[in-house]
Structure 1
Amino acid sequence: MNPTVKQSYELARAQYAAHGIDTDEALERLSRIKLSVHCWQGDDVRGFLFREQELSGGISVTGSYPGAARTPQELRADLERAFSLIPGKHKVNLHAIYADTEEAVDLNELEPKHFQRWVDWAKEQGLGLDFNPTCFSHPKAADGFTLSHPDEAVRRFWIEHCQASRRIGASFGEQLGQPCVTNVWVPDGYKDLPADRLAPRRRLKEALDEVFAEPLDPAHHLDAVESKLFGLGSEAYVVGSHEFYMGYGLQNDKLICLDSGHFHPTETISNKLSSLSLFASGILLHVSRPMRWDSDHVVILDDELLEIARELVRGELLERTFIGLDFFDGSINRVAAWVIGTRSTLKALLRALLEPAEALRQAELDGDYTTRLALAEEFKSYPFGAVWDYYCERSGVPAREAWLDDVKAYEREVQLPRGEAARV
């Protein structure tokens, strides 16, 4: 270990210890947090089942930075490089369209065998897997409706796909020895004002009841449902609103997914965590950066990310919350996007773990709001960066921006030649 990094850590440890904060314990807690890193950043949400199918469901990726993964093997290689630069052991979040198979198979026909190479790879890498049915970018979703579709035959197709997805997720959990979270999100909605808001939601509820009818071992598999405010093509009405899924999740004991880009621009998910935690069995987070609503920018260490982390730590919600990332930026190196977003999320959690939460709570209970504000402000400049650098080096990954040289070398040697090979 770099002696300067070690020395800086010892000085920081003493400063935090003066307030009763054990930095070693904070790092131990951080090391147990598994972030679910989304595979779709690596190839702009194209997947491998229907690569020629145009993106739909309100999903849009901007930018044409060279080097996007074109095969499952390339995507796994890119993920390996990203994880080599991120401290800790984490999970990979797959969508159904990322099946690794030579078999021509539709979404409702998918089976665990079509993802076995992903499972074998995850075992080798010491990673977990999460899963999502892909209810978009498919001819049967072309009119903007899936599980709430008025045509029973189309609705049946999507019910079967989501049922198959749950079985795939359960197989992940069983083989990897850790629960797989399978999250259901559908883009269903109307571009203009609907005549009937109730019927689509009734159909969605009935479809979900069928999807979740098969009991699965919670040691292997957990269900989550995800809402959205509006989308491209569903500006006036989204069937699966926050109110719909909050009610459905609470009534049916499902994880409720909060995506930081799926609410009003001035509405934050950090303020929802404490309320939801009192009633929900668990929470799934999709952390992105909604610069202009659901724009899915790469996560950075901004105020809302810090507030999310603080709520999780101060409310002792880490054990009940599954943290996933969800952004897709095609304008920068895609491996770098993963590294920046994942490291930023871990930094936010570390900062929250290093705050004097008990002292702040006690000052608040005592009505000493002066101390509460003073401590909160002063701790913003405490040397958490020295603790982070130590954690990185202890974990065998580069501290600070040293990781960027590795990504640039990988880009030159691996990613850029992909485009050259395609042009030959």
Structure 2
Amino acid sequence: MTRTANLDHAYQLARERYESLGVDVDAALDRLKTIPISLHCWQGDDVSGFEGTGAELGSGLAVTGNYPGRARTPDELRRDLEMAYSLIPGTHRLNLHASYGEFSGAVDRDQVSPEHFRGWIDWGKQQGVKLDFNPTYFSHPKADDGFTLSHGDPGIRQFWIDHGIACRNIAAEMGKAQQSPCVNNIWVPDGYKDMPASRKLPRARLAESLDAIFAETLDPACVLDAVECKLFGIGSESYVVGSHEFYLGYAISRQKLLCLDAGHFHPTEVISDKISSVLMYVPELLLHVSRGVRWDSDHVVTFTDELQAIMQEIVRGDFIDRVHIGLDFFDASINRVAAWAIGTRNAVKAMLVALLEPTERLQKFECEGDFTSRLALMEELKSMPFAAVWDQYCESMGVPVGIEWLEKVKAYETAVQSVRESEPV
């Protein structure tokens, strides 16, 4: 038997097993093709960006490792992304930060414009990759004290408001050009290392600043506004202005998207448990799928129980059209293209497993109070041959099957990434 024949034989056997449970495998694969994951640009260059200021990362962010081959220019980053996309089945998006524009000279954050991202917009059209966006509220002199939109200085606060307004306009231009809404997500690092004397005042200022940013009504067919909460960060261990409760209330009262980051909560909390509750009150959700180890460490996404639970909640709640899935991790200790491939393939695989559930049957057991059958079927699903379906999906989408993708990354590292160490920018 040829490899293709072996894959097809294994797939047909798996298909029969799933059909015996009432699962239409072909329909699941067709649905999977329509669900994009938004890859994050900052994995490719260790969150350095292209402003050329030499500013340190800071603001509660840290990247560890010095693996060779980091992208140093927009063209190098785009080339690395193209390599990553070639290893991942499906059509996916790209999540850009404002610091990744193409700047010919010194351009401060309050002056960024769509023209600084024209190269990315054109590249996205050529590659069939739609873009999402984020203002960059870190790695800047006006954020050195840990405060931006909630700053006590009205001038500094206005600077960051203007940055937010500029970024919404950039996102709207991206969405218009790609004929798909660009999700524009706001996260700020604001907070205190030690106990504050007032928790109220910075939060009042943050709400006022956000209202100023969102004052202009923009076409939701072009841009969707999201706000992102966090429990704590480096330098904001005792108090984060933009807490979960703050942004949950803000998103509900202003009907914005709420961004839930898998690493932004207490280690015993999981975002899978929050999805159905939040979507009762906000129009849509943005997820930053990450993996925290002891804290918000943004490790590469692996095929964990929580990753699977996130995707199960999206499918079981019929939330696919109301949830935007993005990734957020940065690991400089391994090959950066491999990190994208590992994390994104795992996210897509977990979504496939969720789509292969007999959801109606499980929920029927639950409604009937037959918890024995519910548990039995949930446990049986864990040993179902989803890997054969996954392999067939990768083969049909023209991407490497199994670990074959790693050899392609190794060859790319030798031919392209390793050469950067000796070449000038």
* Category of TM-score, reference length = shorter chain: over 0.9
Q: Note the alpha carbon deviations across 1:21-74, whole angstroms, 9 max, x for none.
A: 111100111100011100000000000014511011100000000000000000
Query: Given the alignment, which residue of 261, 278, 281 partners 1:279?
Result: 281
Residue 46 of structure 2 aligns to a residue in which SS? coil
The TM-score, its normalising length taken from structure 2, stands at: 0.98
Compute the displacement of 1:421 (Å): 2.0
CA displacement, residues 109-166 of structure 1 (integer Å, 9 cap, x when unaligned):
0000000000000000001000000000000000000000000000010000000000
> Which of the numbers 309, 312, 327 marks the counterpart of 1:310?
312
User: Is the CA contact 1:286–1:326 (under 8 Å) kept in the aligned structure 2?
Assistant: yes
SS of residue matched to 1:270: helix
1:331-352 Cα deviation digits (max 9, x unpaired): 0000000000000000000000
Aligned with 1:289: secondary structure? coil
Find out whether 1:31 has 2:28 as its counterpart.
no
Q: Partners of 1:148 and 1:227 in 2: how far apart?
A: 14
In structure 1, the gaps of 5 or more residues are none
For 1:364 and 1:92, locate their aligned partners in 2 and report how far apart those are by CA, in whole Å: 38
- Alpha-carbon distance in 1 for matches of 2:53, 2:26: 46
* Residue 103 of structure 1, CA deviation: 3.0
Give, in whole Å, the separation in 2 of the partners of 1:152 and 1:403: 51
Q: Which residue of 2 aligns with 1:82?
A: 84
Q: CA deviation at 1:422?
A: 4.7
Task: Provide the secondary structure at the position in 1 that maps to 2:423.
Answer: helix
Structure 2 residue aligned with 1:165: 167
Equivalents in 2 of 1:317, 1:365: separation in Å? Answer: 20
* Other-structure match for 1:224: 226
Determine if the alignment matches structure 1 residue 181 to structure 2 residue 183.
yes
2:136 matches 1:134: yes
Give the equivalent residue in structure 2 for 1:119.
121
Inter-partner Cα distance in structure 1 for 2:249 and 2:369: 36
Match of 2:93 in 1: 91
C-alpha distance in 2, partners of 1:398/1:7?
18
1:265 and 2:250 matched: no
Q: Deviations over 1:362-389 (max 9, x none)?
A: 1112222111111111111111111111
Q: How many residues align?
A: 423
Mapped to 2, the partners of 1:152 and 1:127 lie a distance apart of 39
User: Quick one: structure 1 residues 262 and 11, their matched pair in 2 at CA, closer, same or farther if it must change by over 3 Å?
Assistant: same
How do residues 9-408 of structure 1 correspond to structure 2 at under 5 angstroms? 9-408=11-410
Distance in 1, matches of 2:424 and 2:155, equals: 40
Shift of 1:420: 2.1
Kept in 2, the 8 Å contact 1:50–1:97? The answer is no
Structure 1 residue 269, shift from structure 2 partner:
0.4
What's the TM-score, normalizing by structure 1? 0.99
C-alpha contact 1:287 1:326 (8 A) present in aligned 2: yes
Distance 1:25 1:225 in 2: 34
Structure 2 counterpart of 1:308, which letter?
I
After superposition, the C-alpha distances for 1:251-296 in whole angstroms (9 at most, x for unaligned) are 0010000000000010000000111111110100000001112000
Hey, what's the Cα distance between the residues in 2 that align with 1:100 and 1:310? 39
| Corresponding letter in the other structure for 2:6 | T
Shift of 1:101: 2.6
- Contact 1:298–1:340 at 8 Å: present in 2 too? yes
Q: Percent identity?
A: 60
CA RMSD after TM alignment: 1.0
